[in-house]
């Protein structure tokens, strides 16, 4: 079994058989020649169903997550919707009470139109999860660490609860990436990624992915849905994300190092009320994170003393870190989640989320230190 660093560099990356090119070709073709009665010549027919560049990425993602099959989509939301909307009408899904806002909206607005209900629960509280299960619960959806409060859920325990209820466990692994956490090896059935984030790694490509523990009927149903509803990933985007895989382990090590330094700095600062980072011993999910993750990731959030106004002043005073949504790129990004999530936000008003980038940690600490001092003046 190859290690993740080696898989990240080589999986799906065999040199092109015609030219020997070490960087894979980008196949832009929308259609592929077939025989008179539609006989496929090399396995492909039409880009919306599958294409060779995307196949390489799916191979790489499945290898890195330890699954049997990967499916790529045009965005993380397209991947998330495809898996949830493939559940049968009448199904119930448990989603985390702290999660990417898009999942909450999907559960409130879109899934009910398909006869699927979603209810939110604190995924860190196993007794609450057990109590929230219904006979018709067909999926538990975990997101760990979660967006934006960095809550940690015990993946192996959730897998047991799901399977005991004849349900699947899906896990949004966007924050951790398979470099730090591999939910399928802990018992999850499906892993979801916004590959827009760390996989792409440069804030310049949109994508989503699912990796399935088994290439089974559920996988086939999601594949069929993607084919017919058209959420496919464009070849150039697949190529960029595949390129991102190659450096993902190296980048994650740097993100983790910087996030730890910033979390420790913020946690002792008098203008900061609380820091949410699973790498801090005081984080309620620290022990579980230490067990199921190899490091604690590049995402953190913190709450400013002085409420919403203080948080906004800190965000506005940063000079190196950029005020922008999204995460996983080389540049440090800061956002006031409640403002971005809008009217129905459940994010605390004084919370700032930080995607800690790849700058030198001393420069980052200086920027945050100066911005926090400015608020105190
Ligand atoms: N999951 C998480 C944890 C996210 O942070 C995001 C986007 O921010 C998504 C899913 C959605 O992904 P995308 O923006 O690629 O549709």
Report the chain (377 residues): mean pLDDT per 10 consecutive residues.
Answer: 95 96 97 97 97 98 98 98 98 97 97 98 98 98 98 99 98 98 98 98 98 98 98 98 98 98 98 98 98 98 97 98 98 96 88 98 98 83
Whole-angstrom Cα distance, residue 148 to residue 371?
Answer: 21
What pLDDT sits at residue 368? Answer: 98
Instruction: Give yes or no for residue 165 CB within 6 A of ligand 1.
Output: no
Which two three-digit tokens encode residue 261?
A: 């330094």
Residue 207 CA, ligand 1 centroid: distance in Å: 9
Q: For atom 5 of ligand 1, which residue has the closest CA?
A: 100
Whole-angstrom Cα distance, residue 112 to residue 141?
Answer: 16
Whether 100 is catalytic: yes
Whether 2 is catalytic: no
Classified as helix, coil or strand, 89 is: coil
Whether 48 is catalytic: yes
Residue 171 CA, ligand 1 centroid: distance in Å: 13
CATH, domain 248-374, list 1.10.10.10, 3.40.367.20, 3.90.1150.10, 3.40.710.10 = 3.90.1150.10
What pLDDT sits at residue 217? Answer: 98
Catalytic residue selected from 44, 56, 100, 243: 100
What pLDDT sits at residue 377? Answer: 58
Dihedral sign from CA coordinates of 206, 212, 215, 220: negative
The residue with tokens 């607005």 is: 109
Q: For atom 12 of ligand 1, which residue has the closest CA?
A: 76
Class of domain 4-244: alpha beta
Residue 74 CA, ligand 1 centroid: distance in Å: 12
Domain map (residue ranges) of the chain: 4-244, 248-374
- Let me know: does 238 contact 195? Beta carbons within 8 Å: no
What pLDDT sits at residue 117? Answer: 98
Ligand 1 atom nearest to CA at 326: 8
The model carries a pTM of 0.98
């Amino acid at each position: 079994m190859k290690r993740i660093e080696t898989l990240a560099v080589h999986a799906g990356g065999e040199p092109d058989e015609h030219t020997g090119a070490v960087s894979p070709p980008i196949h832009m073709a929308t259609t592929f020649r077939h025989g008179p009665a539609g006989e496929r010549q090399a396995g492909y027919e039409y880009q919306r169903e599958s294409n060779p560049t995307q196949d390489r990425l799916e191979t790489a993602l499945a290898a890195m997550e330890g699954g049997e099959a990967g499916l790529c989509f045009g965005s993380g939301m397209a991947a998330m919707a495809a898996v949830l909307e493939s559940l049968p009408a009448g199904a119930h899904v448990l989603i985390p009470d702290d999660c990417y806002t898009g999942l909450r909206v999907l559960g409130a607005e879109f899934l009910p139109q398909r006869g699927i209900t979603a209810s939110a629960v604190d995924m860190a509280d196993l007794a609450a999860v057990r109590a929230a299960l219904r006979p018709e619960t067909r999926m538990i959806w975990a997101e760990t660490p979660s967006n934006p409060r960095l809550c940690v859920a015990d993946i192996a325990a959730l897998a047991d609860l799901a399977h005991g209820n004849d349900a699947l466990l899906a896990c949004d692994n966007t924050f951790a990436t398979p470099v730090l956490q591999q939910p399928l090896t802990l018992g999850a059935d499906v892993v979801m990624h916004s590959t827009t984030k760390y996989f792409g790694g440069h804030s310049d490509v949109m994508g989503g992915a699912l990796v399935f523990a088994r290439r089974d009927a559920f996988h086939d149903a999601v594949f069929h849905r993607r084919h017919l509803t058209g959420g496919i990933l464009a070849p150039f985007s697949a190529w960029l994300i595949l390129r991102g895989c190659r450096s993902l382990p190296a980048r994650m090590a740097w993100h983790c190092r910087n996030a730890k330094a910033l979390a420790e700095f913020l946690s002792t600062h008098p203008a900061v009320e609380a820091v949410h980072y699973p790498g801090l011993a005081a984080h309620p999910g620290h022990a579980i994170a230490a067990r199921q993750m190899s490091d604690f990731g590049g995402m953190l959030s913190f709450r400013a003393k002085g409420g919403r106004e203080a948080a906004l002043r800190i965000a506005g005073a940063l000079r190196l870190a950029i005020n922008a949504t999204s995460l996983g790129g080389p540049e440090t990004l800061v956002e006031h989640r409640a403002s971005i999530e809008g009217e129905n936000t459940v994010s605390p008003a004084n919370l700032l989320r930080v995607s800690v980038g790849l700058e030198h940690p001393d420069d980052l600490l200086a920027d945050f230190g100066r911005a926090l001092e400015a608020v105190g003046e």
